[in-house]
Amino acid sequence: MMLSINHCQKNNDIPLKLESTLQELKLWQVEIDLSCSGNDVINIFDADPLLPGVICIRESNYVGMISRSNFFDRMSRPYSLGLYSQRPIELLYNQLKQEVLLLEASVSIVTASQKALERSQKSVYEPIVVAAKDGSHGILDFHHLVLANSRIHALTLAQLQQAEENTQIVKTNLRSLEENYSRSLHNDKMSSLGQLVAGVAHEINNPISFIAGNLVHTAEYSQDLLHLINLYQQYYPNPEEEIQTVLQEIDLDFLTADLPNILLSMRVGAKRIQKIVLSLRNFSRLDEAEQKLVDIHEGIDNTLLILQSRLQSKYYQGNSITVVKEYGNLPLVECYPGQLNQVFLHILSNAIDALKQKAQHSQLQVGTFPKLEIHIQTQVSDCKYLTIRITDNGFGIPEKTKKRIFDPFFTTKPVGKGIGMGLSICHQIVVEKHNGELECISTPGKGTELILKLPISNTHKLSSG
């Protein structure tokens, strides 16, 4: 038995205050009895594409919640549709064992945002269940909570600008809100990117594996057919006139010689795509919560592959960006690979932007133009640190600007082109998460160098070469 459904309204229209609580936000109130079938849940989600989840009840009593993402992830697996579609949804609910964040409606939006971000990486973007005083329950979309928190953050900044800037309380609150907003917005952005990249890699991998697997048989079958044709030519050298006409039209000699080359090029292309898919999968490891022993060079190469289209763009007189790699013999490093991939992505993207800006400026100049280059150098220094240097030959950064590049929300890019969180997040990941160092060296007119130092601990040496 399904109960009444109250659709959520836009939270953007709700006036918020610094002390606003969850009860002021609009919630989805969609309940379904665990005796209903999986098809009933599918129909509910189909009726509202924005619905983040459904409340599960048993005899009108709250039991838990099933989110849209977890439901369709399980239903998309082999045999799941036949297993759950006609059976009570309680079977699927027991299998999911979903982690649910249940909060009272009186909890403040800021506190709720902090609690939501403290969840595991697997559950951080799942909806939140809000319990009202009257015993009813509603579902709050995580993204709506982040937006509400950002509005409160904006209100706080506006009030702080009018308050005394020298008070320590104001500075502490401002910094806390900035870091909270920066972390939540960045996590949302990178998680969406990781899910998108992983999804694309998965969708490409299935058909290309089918093609690559069947190319072997295709090559064998084609050789058998060519051998059979050769035998016919040996024993029947003078075929009928119609057959001779067709042989001339299709140019059998050329076809026989070219077909193996075509199949070979298809195999090379399939292997190339499989390599790209593997790189996409490695790059999309954004939700790994545990440290792992990884090859730093693999992470850099995967990031360069993601940025390949930007690197190969023709920025000036047909010139693209050249990447020069000087890799040392590095050990495997125990780190958070997904987070370091984010660091490489931000730094390399900034380098590309700097070189693009230089190329556009040079189009207005007359004379010689240097190559657009990014140098990546890795080495072990002092037997304690693994050092990564990423250098571009752009215009460089003025000294006044360089002092603030690691500050949250500071950006020199035009409105809409950047939000000033990239290098701030990089600094947080390298320094706070990995106990490393991140330094910027820049000479105006010559270029910029970012130096990452990661401590070497619990490492296993790579084989040389």
Residue 12: how many other CB atoms lie within 10 Å = 10
The reported pLDDT for the residue numbered 390 is: 95
| CB-CB contact of 395 with 444 (8 Å) | yes
Domain boundaries, the chain: 2-162, 202-281, 289-461
Question: Which structure tokens are listed for 416?
Answer: 């809409």
Closest among 393, 377, 387, 397 to 442, alpha carbons compared: 397
Q: Pick from 126, 81, 122: which is nearest to 103 by CA?
A: 126
Give me the half-sphere count of Cα atoms (radius 13 Å) on the Cβ side of residue 398: 3
Q: What separation in angstroms does the CA of 434 have from each of 14, 76, 178, 347, 453? A: 41, 37, 21, 17, 9
- In three-state secondary structure terms, 74 is helix
Helices (H) and strands (E) in the chain, counts: 14, 15
Q: What are phi and psi of 363, to 5 degrees?
A: -65, -20
- For residue 305 the two structure tokens come to 């592959």
CATH number of 2-162: 3.10.580.10
Q: Find residue 376's DSSP bridge partners.
A: 325, 390
Pairing of strands 128-131, 102-104: parallel
Beta strands in 145-303 (DSSP E): 292-294
Q: Per residue in 35-55, pLDDT tens?
A: 999 899 999 988 888 899 999
Residue 259: burial class (beta carbons within 10 Å; 0-12, 13-18, 19+): middle
Please report the pLDDT score of residue 143 as a whole number.
Answer: 86
Say which CATH topology domain 289-461 has.
Answer: Heat Shock Protein 90 (3.30.565)
H-assigned helices in 32-99: 38-47, 68-75, 80-84, 89-96
Residues of the chain with pLDDT under 50: 1, 3-5, 7, 9, 286-287, 415-416, 418-421, 458-465
Q: Which H or E run contains 448?
A: strand 447-455
Contacts of 196 (CB under 8 A, 6+ apart): none
- Say whether 142 sits in a helix, a strand or coil: helix
Q: Which residues, at least 6 apart from 216, have a Cβ–Cβ distance to it below 8 Å?
A: none
Q: Which residues of 72-85 are buried (b: 16+ CB within 10 A; e: fewer)?
A: eebbeeeebeebbb
Closest listed residue to residue 286, CA positions, set 330, 334, 332, 343: 343
Q: What is the pLDDT of residues 319-359, one digit of tens each?
A: 788 999 999 998 888 888 878 888 898 899 889 988 888 88
Q: Which residues pair with 332 in a beta bridge?
A: 460
Domains 2-162 and 289-461 share a fold: no
- Per-residue pLDDT, 197: 60
- pLDDT for the residue 140: 92
